[in-house]
Structure 1
Amino acid sequence: MASQNTTFSGAHNQGAQVDPSSTPLRPSSNVPFRRDNDYVDRGDILARVDERCSQPAGRAALVGFGGFGKSQLAIEYAHRVRQRSPNTWIFWVYASNSSRLEEAYSDIAERVGLSSQPGAAADVIPLVRKWLCNEANGRWLMIVDNVDDEITVSSQRGGQSISLASLLPQSDHGAIVLTSRNADVARSLVGRQQDIIMVGAMSEGEAVNLLQNKLGDGPWHDATKLVKALDCIPLAIAQAAAYISRLGSRMSVAKYLSELKEVKKTVQLLQKAASDTRRDGEALNSVLTTWQISFEHILQKQPSAAHLLSFMSFFNQQGIPEFMVRHYTDKDSEEKDNLSDSRLEEEDIDFEEDVALLHAFSLIGTTERENEFEMHRLVQLATRIWLRSTNTDRKWHRVFIQVMAQEFPDGEYANWPRCRALFPHVLPMVEQEGLTIGKTDEWALLLNNAGWYAWRQGLFAQAEGMASKALKIRKEALDADNYSTLLSSSLLGSILTDLGKYKEAESMYRQTLAASEKVFGLEHPDTMTVINNLALVLDRQGKYKEAESMHRQTLAASEKVLGLEHPDTMTVINNLALVLDRQGKDKEAESMHRQTLAASEKVLGLEHPDTLISMNNLGVVLVSQGKYEEAEMIYRQTLVASKKALCLEHPLTLTTMNNLAVVLNHQSKYEEAGLMYKQALAIQEKVLGVEHPSTLLISNNLATALDNQSKYEEVNRWIGRS
């Protein structure tokens, strides 16, 4: 149990006129989309495309997730080339599947005059490729859109399959721009990594400009908020603008933003078709549907990757740890433990292949930190919607809870690095209601351990919610005397104490103590922990005699069972010393604090939270004896270590700031003391609230420091609050 301590140019043909019957066709463009009047320039992306396409046989690939504007960039580039170089052929090729590719090549054949040639109808693809390779036909630019797979087409001459790569000639007079969600396919077609140009979300400024272009004149004070809510994704912004425009006076940016914030309405709003005729007529124009195309594709091609994506969609979108997803399984822990080394090696290979595929489709990304992944928030939303549509969301939710419960350790200091990595992924689960959680014991275990960690981090409100849920589940599923139930009960008591809810905490501890004595006996470590914690909350209420008696009882048992240098024993000594000091027994208290500090530094290290508590408490007893200089030195050392090991907003850091200010005030360093009180108070009010006992204490101390400086008007203000 937890124990407490406080450029592309075209050819210009010139020369004598020839017989009209042999005059080459005038170069034209078959780009199926008008130029977008709402287009927003995307930094240097098109300049980089132009640089690559200006080279002989130049190629460039725009790679990124669906909805990020790859096709719009390609459309704009095609129109720019056509505008400045009207003698350049512009060909647009759909490459989402073999039938669309064949259709596009047939259109090219007709446009360049090949359709009337013998055999054209039978085998148009080789004819088009031959035409593209002929320099006499002039310069050309080909946009190959949506090439997400290594597609092949069947030649009717011999029946052999022809790969897309073989259909795209390396011609000095031609250039190719690809758009793809698959970086691997794109690389195989452009040939060089440096010819791949990643297209991400818009910058905030670009996104706001796009929204303004789509909506025209209007109030823009909410535009930035909306594009941020849509993660600056062009297609999502276009859909939002279309929806707002369609509803006219019944909808505004502010109202749309408000509705978007409601999770249940997010799906409905984003699924509204934008009626954007510039998109492929066969492609549904919804952000979610766009992404679901990828999901369905991956499910068919590599089901294990789709399963991995499903699992990852339940994590927070940032910082998904590799160790959590590498060997995940929906088998129980015993089956998982029985996996052979060879099978684990196979799983490693499968995992790397799955990650590579998901990354190639821009469904997941990597971070600057090693061994972490990330997912776009809307990618996760789309995945979860897809799971619901296939009735598999509950399954993957259960898998997530199962794996997380196995991997999330308790909140002891040694486990903080792993807890810190996993905690953000637990919070969304806690905050959601109405979900089928899975096995209650796994859910309760996860809630308990996450609550334990939250408590040790000073996140008391979150900790209370988690611990309360864990206790409720365990009481219903088990009974009040069950070990797991007692763990949750003791944890909740500790949290209530730090929240200043002393009466509730005392009642909780007395119930837990009675059950623990009955089940484990008086000298069991967990029983001793409960007694220590009960004594601590009695101390907080001024019940010093009873608290002292309990601490001495616990100390005798702890020394006998655990030994003098055990961390739990040191905690009891520390807490006993505190209650002794409050009763004026400062010499005995000082001796005990020095004993625990020496042992804590030896066993735990200088930056361990328990060591920092011992340092703080030694300072308290030194102040009570008027040893201000030594106390100030200890507090300053503690404050530096606490800020480093914990954080500025941690309750222990705030307590140290208050205590340092106290000793400064005793030494007539009123100005520095007042500034430190004000800093601590501002943070304390934010973290624990205005009515918390510690907040009221600091407020009262600040008033004293101000009074010592004769700042009486400020004194009255703070006295009124305390």
Structure 2
Amino acid sequence: VLVPYIENPGFFGRSEILNDLRRQLGYDQHQGANKPRSRVSLYGLGGVGKTQIALAYVYWLQYTCPDISIFWVHASNEGRFREAFASIAQKCNIPGYNDPKVDVLLLVKTWGKRPIEIGRMTDGEASQLLRTILEDTEIPTEETSLLSTRLEHLPLALAQAAAFIQENDVSIRRYVQLLDQSDSGLVDRLSEPFETVGRDSETPHALTETWIISFEQIERQNAFASEVLSLISLLDRQAIPEDFVVNYWCRRQPKESGENKEAEVVTALGTLKAFSFISEDKHQSIDMHRLVQLVTRKWLVEKGRTAEFAQYALETISNIYPYGRFETREACLKYLPHAYAVLRSKNTSTGVEGIARASLLHCVAAYLLYSGQWEGAEKHQLEATNLRKAILGEDHADTLTSIANLASTYRNQGRWEEAEKLEVQVMETRKTKLGADHPDTLTSMANLASTYRNQGRWEEAEKLEVQVMETSKTKLGADHPDTLTSMANLAFTWKDQGRHADALALIQDCSLARDRVLGPEHPDTLSSLAAVENWS
């Protein structure tokens, strides 16, 4: 069972919907003549409990039919969808899951719908929810009915209200008074769709009211917690690593001790969980309900603080997102939806913000390049290159790295002339700025040699590759990964030239060294080993 959320011990009711779900999917003990369906969708207003119903069904099925595999797939966006499928492939050890070029969606897939509407809670279900959360079975029905009616029988709003009541030890009637005293104009504004937030950004008044009351309390009680909610509202709302919050705190309070850091972060997240603004999954990542995210974003617009927290979010993700390669592939995939979320903001393209944006674009492009998504890699690398040119200058080391990676995207698409032009530019500039034997210069020479080899220009490729290999051995050492890469490149050029014996001897040496230095499962090791087997 691969489900990111723990079972909700406080779930109850919804028996008619659960029975309908079991019946339609063929797991009802009283299954009649109707043929079970392979797919059933749950639909309804935000906050009515669709996710909780799905979780209740999943855990019921796990207990009832322990031999059945259950996989939870987040489908809020393409990145999250792919990440879920990649996780399934890895956990189930599906052959080929670690191949960066494989279509993971097709890999997992190769191993008529009737929707069920989820309505609002009944008065009885709402009363039971409040009594369970408040741990008081003696609450009069008229009080629970008063609050549930006031909050439109919306489970998410009721949960937030109950959390506030419990946290502040106030009565239900006192909480209803607070609702009545709310700024009705602010409630109306934050409930309406915001063009800057998205067309589908309307939120129920009940949820907006409870959000405002709780958020104002959090601002007074723990200002850092309110900042955290504002920050994470601009990320993807699912699977937000706690490390993001820690990184944000460290940059906001650079002189504080590590003990204070841990205490502040734990307290802030605990406060947000206590008020039902966020939840925590099995992997200690943070989830935020879509409606909570929407109201928080609209509050930032209302207060004129969107650009401020968009900058914080960008700097946080840029600071943490690793450069895409084999060793970082899992972290890159995990963080990718959050990177996409902050990159959608176009208000950060100059100065420090522009540099952070360019760095994130560069690292995301490297991951897309590693995973064979050439068009996406080109798009992100081109923007990173243009930003770095504008801010840092044409000859800056970071700019040259982005240009070199952009050339790699062209080369992988067979656009040889465009790749060669950029690679010559980078190589010559690095020779002038860094020297002919600098590792970055050698990398640019190797890239240009690859472009020559792909065009069948064997002698030009060989000349550069011999120079790169010999210099790398001297400067970096015979076992350095870059030296081993240069050996493999030269071996492939010799093979293309028909020098089979020389190519085989060199690739054998390379394969043995890679197995020792990188490990037997590294893609470079596997690539050179495959060459040895094919050429022998």
TM-score of the aligned structures, taking structure 2 as reference length:
0.65
Change (3 A) 1:561 1:396: same
**1:251-650 matched pairs, under 5 angstroms:** 264-267=198-201, 270=202, 284=205, 291-329=211-249, 331=251, 336=254, 338-340=255-257, 344-369=258-283, 371-433=284-346, 439-622=353-536
2:123 to 64, 71, 75: 75
Change (3 A) 1:568 1:304: same
Report % sequence identity. 27
Change (3 A) 1:359 1:487: same
**1:126-165 matched pairs, under 5 angstroms:** 141-144=141-144
Match of 2:5 in 1: none
Contact kept in structure 1, 2:494 and 2:500, CA below 8 Å: yes
Superposed CA offset, 1:71-99 (max 9, x none): 953525599x9xxxxxxxxxx99xxxxxx
Contact kept in structure 1, 2:300 and 2:306, CA below 8 Å: yes
Change (3 A) 1:187 1:329: closer
Superposed CA offset, 1:672-708 (max 9, x none): xxxxxxxxxxxxxxxxxxxxxxxxxxxxxxxxxxxxx
Give the match's secondary structure for 1:380. Answer: helix
Change (3 A) 1:78 1:312: closer
Q: CA separation in 2, counterparts of 1:554 and 1:361? A: 60
Gaps of 5+ in 1: 1-38, 45-64, 82-91, 94-131, 134-138, 149-177, 191-242, 244-258, 274-283, 623-722
Contact kept in structure 1, 2:249 and 2:265, CA below 8 Å: no
Shift of 1:295: 3.1
**1:233-244 matched pairs, under 5 angstroms:** none
2:296 is matched by which residue type in structure 1?
A: T
1:347 is matched by which residue type in structure 2?
A: K
Change (3 A) 1:575 1:71: closer
Q: CA separation in 1, counterparts of 2:368 and 2:486? A: 22
Give the match's secondary structure for 2:520. Answer: coil
Contact kept in structure 1, 2:225 and 2:268, CA below 8 Å: yes
Q: CA separation in 2, counterparts of 1:619 and 1:263? A: 56
Shift of 1:613: 2.1
Q: CA separation in 1, counterparts of 2:467 and 2:288? A: 53
Give the match's secondary structure for 1:326. Answer: helix
TM-score of the aligned structures, taking structure 1 as reference length:
0.49
For the pair 1:181 / 2:160, whether they are aligned, the reply is yes
2:160 is matched by which residue type in structure 1?
A: R
Q: CA separation in 1, counterparts of 2:125 and 2:334? A: 43
Q: CA separation in 2, counterparts of 1:484 and 1:385? A: 36
Contact kept in structure 1, 2:462 and 2:493, CA below 8 Å: yes
Change (3 A) 1:293 1:459: farther
Contact kept in structure 2, 1:322 and 1:373, CA below 8 Å: yes
Shift of 1:535: 0.4
Superposed CA offset, 1:380-416 (max 9, x none): 2221111111111111111111122222232343333
**1:199-210 matched pairs, under 5 angstroms:** none
Contact kept in structure 2, 1:574 and 1:614, CA below 8 Å: yes
Q: CA separation in 1, counterparts of 2:119 and 2:262? A: 35
Q: CA separation in 1, counterparts of 2:162 and 2:123? A: 20
Contact kept in structure 1, 2:392 and 2:399, CA below 8 Å: yes
1:395 is matched by which residue type in structure 2?
A: E
Contact kept in structure 2, 1:423 and 1:450, CA below 8 Å: yes
Contact kept in structure 1, 2:403 and 2:422, CA below 8 Å: yes
Give the match's secondary structure for 1:373. Answer: strand
Contact kept in structure 2, 1:66 and 1:291, CA below 8 Å: no
Shift of 1:140: 6.4
Contact kept in structure 1, 2:462 and 2:490, CA below 8 Å: yes
Change (3 A) 1:473 1:189: closer
Superposed CA offset, 1:36-58 (max 9, x none): xxx995548xxxxxxxxxxxxxx
Shift of 1:186: 6.8
Q: Which has the larger radius of gyration?
A: 1
Q: How many positions carry a matched residue from both structures?
A: 395
Q: CA separation in 1, counterparts of 2:322 and 2:345? A: 22
Shift of 1:530: 0.4
Q: CA separation in 1, counterparts of 2:428 and 2:165? A: 68
Q: CA separation in 1, counterparts of 2:357 and 2:512? A: 40
Q: CA separation in 1, counterparts of 2:344 and 2:424? A: 30
Q: CA separation in 1, counterparts of 2:333 and 2:294? A: 24
